[in-house]
């Protein structure tokens, strides 16, 4: 990586202010394959100064100018698509098919949807004699995670560009290479200098510096609830807007009239995809008590053939999890599930057979799980499914909502009307009925400790705008 030891600030690649570096680990081999520079407060100061200087001119650009820029970005992204997908597979362990189809593909999809949104978005509206205007909020600090890296980068960068904001991005230091390539793509697209800036670093240094910085008008953060709380506290002194998409422990309610075979199969596969590293994965599967044993048998039948292996190998469904820290956390929670008395249906501690190196986790299913168990309460962020039996519909709704999180819920039923009624009672930002196709136009975000604000399409664009009311704009 020619720019791995540099930052992108004010339209050029520059040397860091300090000399700290970090190895980027390939989770399939546990070996370093790249080294990046780690930023400091001085680097954030330079990036924020560049973004502030660029803001007045960029905020004044027309819709047509921003659309032209975003279309150039789409072409430049397409030209580096394979490089981005390969980097994602290498640094976070995504199987090559998933990396190329979904991980890199999310960037294309979100950018296309934001272009479509900007084409018709209303920035001004006259209400009586008052003009209601939506204006860019200013300089946005962006802190993004390692699990769907390009998805979250584009979910922030695209609406910021559409709004007319300037930005400073700190990607995850665990999976930073895709972001460096993305900065090269932004440069190739001709983004005006200072509009987009990239500073690599860790959360306690660069993340906190961005959150505290008086020159940053908004922080958009995606990551754990624990880290989100720290970001909000750091931002509080400057009363900046804090937009967050945080953790989840999503319930998957299979009602008694659902197709059990199909519902359990798709539920298992949804949890195991991306090695369980998705904040909205349906990790708590609720099944009727009388169908519990049958559900366990189906889950075992589905999970055991799922191939775990090197991301570059053919037919792999699960690659490694991203890091040693993540691997050890997952192992601890699997052991807790066994100790607390859940039924281990398949999987369990340790690596899958034949894999002695790399952060590989066995696809694990627990049955007979109760609400107070750690595996039912904590966000595991690995390929671990908990199946919980329930009695009545009212009971399962109450138990599904009994969580500090509220990112997503899933409802399976043979009756769409019944599913809709259950969905209306779920305390989560998204509800998915009968495993629908992904929708780039649906709002994405959570209730409770899963965050605040929304991403995707117009909902995401609104987050980067301030509302101004000019009273008396029209003569009475």
Q: Give CA–CA dist 253/396, Å, rounded.
A: 7
Q: What is the residue whose two structure tokens read 């509080």?
A: 236
Exactly one of 40, 155, 279, 463 is catalytic; name it: 279
Active site (annotated) includes residue 279: yes
- Cβ 405 vs Cβ 449: under 8 Å: yes
Q: Give CA–CA dist 414/420, Å, rounded.
A: 11
Residue 389, helix vs strand vs coil:
strand
Active site (annotated) includes residue 398: no
DSSP string, 311-373: TTSTT-SB---S-HHHHHHHHHHHHHHHHTT-EEEE--SSPPTT--SSS----EEEES--TTS
What DSSP character marks residue 206?
A: I
- Cβ 24 vs Cβ 36: under 8 Å: yes
Which residues pair with residue 139 across a beta bridge? 166
Nearest residue to 12 (alpha-carbon basis) of 246, 259, 183: 183
Q: Give CA–CA dist 171/152, Å, rounded.
A: 9
Q: Give CA–CA dist 62/69, Å, rounded.
A: 11
- Cβ 410 vs Cβ 207: under 8 Å: no
Rg (CA), the chain: 23
- Cβ 451 vs Cβ 428: under 8 Å: no
Q: Give CA–CA dist 165/374, Å, rounded.
A: 42
Exactly one of 91, 245, 455, 463 is catalytic; name it: 245
Q: Give CA–CA dist 409/250, Å, rounded.
A: 5
Q: What is the 3-state secondary structure (H, E, C) of 93-144?
A: CCCHHHHHHHHHHHHHHHHHHHHHHHHHCCCEEEECCEEEEEEECCEEEEEC
- Cβ 333 vs Cβ 378: under 8 Å: yes
- Cβ 167 vs Cβ 73: under 8 Å: no
Instruction: Dump strand ranges (E) for 193-303.
Output: 196-198, 218-222, 241-245, 251-254, 284-288
The answer to whether the Cα torsion of 330, 332, 337, 343 is positive or negative is positive
- Cβ 277 vs Cβ 308: under 8 Å: no
Burial class (CB in 10 A: 0-12, 13-18, 19+), 367: buried
Dihedral, CA of residue 65, residue 66, residue 69 and residue 71, to nearest 10? -110
Q: In degrees rounded to 5, what are phi and psi of residue 387?
A: -110, 125
Report the catalytic residues. Answer: 245, 279
């Amino acid at each position: 990586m020619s720019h791995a030891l540099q930052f992108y600030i004010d339209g050029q690649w520059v040397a860091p202010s300090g000399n700290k570096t970090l190895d980027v680990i390939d989770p399939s081999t546990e070996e370093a394959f790249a080294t990046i520079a780690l930023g400091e407060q001085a680097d954030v100061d330079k990036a924020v100064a560049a973004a502030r200087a660029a803001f007045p001119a960029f905020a004044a650009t027309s819709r047509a100018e921003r659309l032209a820029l975003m279309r150039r970005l789409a072409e430049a992204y397409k030209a580096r698509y394979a490089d981005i997908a390969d980097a994602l597979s290498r640094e976070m362990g995504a199987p090559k098919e998933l990396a190329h189809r979904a991980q890199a593909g999310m960037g294309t999809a979100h950018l296309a949807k934001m272009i479509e949104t900007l084409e018709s978005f209303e920035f001004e509206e006259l209400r009586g004699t008052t003009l209601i205007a939506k204006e860019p909020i200013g300089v946005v600090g962006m802190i993004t995670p390692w699990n769907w890296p390009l998805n979250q980068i584009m979910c922030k960068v695209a609406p910021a560009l559409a709004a007319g904001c300037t930005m400073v991005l700190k990607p995850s230091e665990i999976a930073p290479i895709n972001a460096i390539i993305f900065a090269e793509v932004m440069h190739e697209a001709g983004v005006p200098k200072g509009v987009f800036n990239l500073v690599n670093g860790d959360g306690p240094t660069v993340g906190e510096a961005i959150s505290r910085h008086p020159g940053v008008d908004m922080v958009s953060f995606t990551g754990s609830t624990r880290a989100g709380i720290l970001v909000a506290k750091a931002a509080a002194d400057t009363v900046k807007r804090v937009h967050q998409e945080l953790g989840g422990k999503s319930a998957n309610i299979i009602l008694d009239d659902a197709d059990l075979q199909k519902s359990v199969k798709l539920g298992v596969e949804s949890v195991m995809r991306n090695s369980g590293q998705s904040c909205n994965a349906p990790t708590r599967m609720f099944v009727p008590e009388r169908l519990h044993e049958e559900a366990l048998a189906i889950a075992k039948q589905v999970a055991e053939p799922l191939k775990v292996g090197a991301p570059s190998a053919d037919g792999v469904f699960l690659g490694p999890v991203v890091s040693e820290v993540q691997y050890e956390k997952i192992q601890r929670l699997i052991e807790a599930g066994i100790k607390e008395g859940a039924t281990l249906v398949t999987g369990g501690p340790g690596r899958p057979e034949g894999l002695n190196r790399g952060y590989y986790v066995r696809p694990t299913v627990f049955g007979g799980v109760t609400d107070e168990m750690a595996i039912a309460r904590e966000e595991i962020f690995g390929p671990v499914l908990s199946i919980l039996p329930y009695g009545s519909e009212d009971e399962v709704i109450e138990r599904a909502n009994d969580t500090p999180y509220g990112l997503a819920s899933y409802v399976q039923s043979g009756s769409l009307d019944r599913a809709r009624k259950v969905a209306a009672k779920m305390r989560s930002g998204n509800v998915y009925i009968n495993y629908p196709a992904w929708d780039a136009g649906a709002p994405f975000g959570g209730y409770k400790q899963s965050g605040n604000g929304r991403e995707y399409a117009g909902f995401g664009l609104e987050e980067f705008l301030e509302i101004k009311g000019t009273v008396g704009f029209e003569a009475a």
